[in-house]
């Protein structure tokens, strides 16, 4: 039987908690390099008591009813993750973490020896296959999604019984732009029933006076009003997704394994299987305003917004 990660070297710590049977899991993608930010943005402190954006996301996930947190990380930040999250969350929620390594590949695949960066977000989900057996949400470590978004995600994962129906928590593009540079977003098109028809990973989207713009695939400029639905990598999956992602990633590596910079992102994978009719994806809209630390210049804005929410009573001054 085909084993995608037959030779994976996976290390984890599990902190047990009670009464989490049947509760969905939250998968935190925290293995990114942070090249535009210039450092390890996932662990940068933005709260008054040293909290990271991840801390606020986990706090919201626990309040929403999630039963377990799984981190996908790089090996070089293992000690920091153990200290900052595993130890502090002990007794609050079950915690697990997995390394995303470029050597986690289909058996017999040949890739360029110059490869240094991970294979993208689809691969990041795949390395958790042996850890997750229940419906699960996916988030970026450096994005703030908002209280409402986690409630919407949790309820879908808990109550939707179709094993091949997933969700994207959608945002208006205008609520997800940075004032300090371009961003990448999955631009979505939905049918009248709110089901995803098409999603395109669109890179280098910049804010303009009337909306946003980005370079198109053939050199032309794309223009946006700001009302378009976009994905912020806030997904809800069922365990069946591993079968589809494994197939797609195997094809991808066979075709692009000699490219030292190629990546397979989640929107590209989902788009293929939606068009083939293999899966359905509900777009559930959030009214929250995103913020994150794509660039170092974003940090003061994030810090100030956290302070405002603390004053409003949305978060305590000290989470732990």
DSSP 8-state class, residue 41: G
* pLDDT, tens only, 12-39: 333 333 444 589 999 999 986 544 545 5
Residue with more model confidence, 261 or 306:
306
Look at residues 31, 10, 2, 11 and name the one whose alpha carbon lies nearest to residue 109. Answer: 2
Which tokens is 94 given?
A: 């079950």
Residue with more model confidence, 140 or 31:
140
Instruction: Say yes or no to pLDDT of 304 above 50.
Output: yes
* pLDDT, tens only, 191-235: 999 999 999 989 999 999 999 999 998 889 999 999 999 999 999
Strand partners, 104: none
Give the pairing of strands 94-99 and 212-215: unpaired
Instruction: Say yes or no to pLDDT of 8 above 70.
Output: no
pLDDT for the residue numbered 12:
36
Which tokens is 197 given?
A: 């028809």
Question: What's the mean pLDDT in 274-299?
Answer: 91
Helix axes 53-64, 147-159, angle to 10 degrees: 40
Q: What is the maximum span of the chain, computed from C-alpha positions, in angstroms?
A: 56
Show the domains of the chain with their CATH numbers: 25-311 (3.90.550.10)
Angle (CA) 179 181 186, round 5°: 95
**Mean pLDDT over the full length of the chain:** 88
Please say whether the beta carbons of 184 and 203 come within 8 A: yes
pLDDT for the residue numbered 41:
67
Please say whether the beta carbons of 4 and 106 come within 8 A: yes
Q: Going along 141-263, which residue ranges are E strands? A: 143-144, 165-172, 183-190, 196-207, 212-215, 221-224, 229-237
Instruction: Say yes or no to pLDDT of 243 above 60.
Output: yes
pLDDT for the residue numbered 293:
82
* Residues comprising the chain, all counted: 320
Question: What's the mean pLDDT in 68-94?
Answer: 92
State the sign of the Cα–Cα–Cα–Cα dihedral 119, 140, 270, 173: negative
Question: What's the mean pLDDT in 49-74?
Answer: 96
Please say whether the beta carbons of 55 and 47 come within 8 A: yes
pLDDT for the residue numbered 307:
97
**d(C-alpha 292, C-alpha 301), whole Å:** 9
Please say whether the beta carbons of 12 and 124 come within 8 A: no
Please say whether the beta carbons of 263 and 255 come within 8 A: no
Please say whether the beta carbons of 60 and 171 come within 8 A: no
Which tokens is 90 given?
A: 């002990």
């Amino acid at each position: 039987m085909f084993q995608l990660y037959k030779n994976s070297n996976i290390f984890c710590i599990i902190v047990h908690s009670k009464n989490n049977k049947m509760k969905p899991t939250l998968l935190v993608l925290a293995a990114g390099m942070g090249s535009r930010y210039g450092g390890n943005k996932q662990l940068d402190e933005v709260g008054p008591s040293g909290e990271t954006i991840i801390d606020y996301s986990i706090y919201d996930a626990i309040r929403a009813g999630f039963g377990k947190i799984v981190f996908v990380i790089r090996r070089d930040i293992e000690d920091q993750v153990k200290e900052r999250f595993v130890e502090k969350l002990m007794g609050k929620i079950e915690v697990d973490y997995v390394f995303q390594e470029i050597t986690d590949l289909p058996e017999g695949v040949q890739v360029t020896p110059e490869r240094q960066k991970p294979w993208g977000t689809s691969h990041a989900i795949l390395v958790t296959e042996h850890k997750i057996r229940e419906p699960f949400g996916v988030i970026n470590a450096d994005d703030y999604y908002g209280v409402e978004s986690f409630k919407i995600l949790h309820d879908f994962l808990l109550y939707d019984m179709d094993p091949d129906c997933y969700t994207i928590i959608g945002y208006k593009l205008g609520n997800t732009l940075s004032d300090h540079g371009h961003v990448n977003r999955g631009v979505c098109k939905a049918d009248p029933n709110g089901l995803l028809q098409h999603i395109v990973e669109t890179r280098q989207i910049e804010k303009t006076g009337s909306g946003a713009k980005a370079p198109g695939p053939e050199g032309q400029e794309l223009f946006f009003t700001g009302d378009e639905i976009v994905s912020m990598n806030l997904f809800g999956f069922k365990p069946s997704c591993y079968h589809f992602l494994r197939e797609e990633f195997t094809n991808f590596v066979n075709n692009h394994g000699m490219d030292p910079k190629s990546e397979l992102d989640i929107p590209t994978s989902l788009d293929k299987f939606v068009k083939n009719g293999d899966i359905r994806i509900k777009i559930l809209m959030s009214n929250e305003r995103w913020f994150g630390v794509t660039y170092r210049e974003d940090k003061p804005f994030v810090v100030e917004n956290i302070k405002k929410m603390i004053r409003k009573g949305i978060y305590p001054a000290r989470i732990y």
